[in-house]
Amino acid sequence: MYLDSAASSLTPEQVVLKEMEFYREYRANVERGVHRFSQMASEEYEHAHEDAARFIGAPSKANVAMMKNTTEGINLVANSIDWKTTDKIVTTVIEHHSNFITWLRVRQRHGADVEVVRSSTEGLFDLDDFEKTIDDNTKLVAVTHVSNVLGCIVPVKEIIEIAHDHGAKVLVDGAQGVPHIKTDVMDMGVDFLAFSGHKMLGPTGSGGLYIADAELGTTEPLCIGGGTIVDVSIDDYVLAVPPMKYEAGTPSIAQVIGLGEACRYLNRVGMHNIEEWDLKLANRLLDGLKDIDGVEIYGPKDPKQRVGLATFNIKDMNSHDVALTLDLEYDIATRSGHHCALPLMKELYKLDTGNVRASTYLYNTLEEIDALIDAVTEIAKD
């Protein structure tokens, strides 16, 4: 039983077959040949850009550069900004390391100030604290849409409105949000949004970075080379138009094509259906765990404030021991530890060994949740 989708989702047969189609039918490089195989591969690669852009509500494929993952997208933004010592970056205590240590490195390299917004013990975002923290020196606000540890949904639209009032740009870590919540970057008003394919039924090594129209002219590539230029002379070069200027070298062609198929798959299912199912799973998960003696649950108590994810500990047990027991004795896959979110673990809960995370997705069933609850009940008794 697979309950570790927050780390990496399972992959539908349709996505696997779409990747294999590339290797079997038109295995060639993209945007570099006039022969039919290169043309076929290039066409599928372009379609994947369009599918990804459509999936998150971007105006065109020019706004979505393909990345290896969310982390690469965040780092591209961090490295493209002209930082000054007077600049401020505002982030939160519930961030994944990829959206936290990146900004600490900016502080180390450029002297920019980094301010961290705290959360309630349930992990709920404190808008009042945020408004006290942000000021007109704030150049960037970097915030997750959904916590990978607590599952709590962050009010990104309100955050973006406040940030823009101060002249700050906003980067949203959409790694956990895009797979579970219908995302419309235009309605959100976000400047940058990064996401990972492997958490939304797509292949590993795939993901994207949305860049708003207003930022395309000033957002520099993380690296440049083949595929990113339209002209080169002895003394100078001219970059290609987005998104190609951000995709140096031979890209992960099969993975990008697979991501496009994953977007189509999720659209066929319907994100509203996924959100409704998420809520049912979260309800069952929280209701079952809260009644077990010796079990402590972390994050919002209200399932409507979170996605289908729950973290917990069993009294007097190491989280790794619990996860190992669930795997070996009950055939249930979960994750244990700090989940790449040590500031959250240290600041909010003082947890040395982290906790156990059970994370669901559209393919999980209520019966599987019941099986997990029964297993945790038995482990807690022992």
DSSP 87: -
Where residue 358 falls (left for φ over 0; alpha for ψ -120 to 50; beta otherwise) is beta
Can you give the length of the chain in residues? Answer: 382
Strand partners, 297: 312
Respond yes or no: is residue 263 known to be catalytic. no
Q: Cα–Cα distance between 41 and 351 in angstroms, integer? A: 48
The residue written with tokens 């003696």 in the block is 293
CB–CB of 240/228 below 8 Å? Answer: yes
User: How many Cα atoms sit within 13 Å of 94 on the Cβ side?
Assistant: 27
Q: Are 1 and 331 in contact (CB under 8 A)?
A: yes
- With b meaning 16 or more CB within 10 Å and e meaning fewer, what string describes 107-138? eeeeebbbbbbebeebbbbeeebbeebbeeeb
Cβ-count burial 287-305 (b if 16+ within 10 Å, e if not): ebbeebeebebbbbeebeb
**C-beta neighbour count of 372 within 10 angstroms:** 23
**Nearest of 354, 352, 324, 351 to residue 337 by alpha carbon:** 354
Distance CA 328, CA 22 (A): 37
With H, G, I as helix, E, B as strand and everything else as coil, classify residue 10: coil
Catalytic residue among 152, 223, 263, 340: 340
Q: Is there a contact between 148 and 4 (Cβ–Cβ < 8 Å)?
A: no
Active site residue ranges: 340
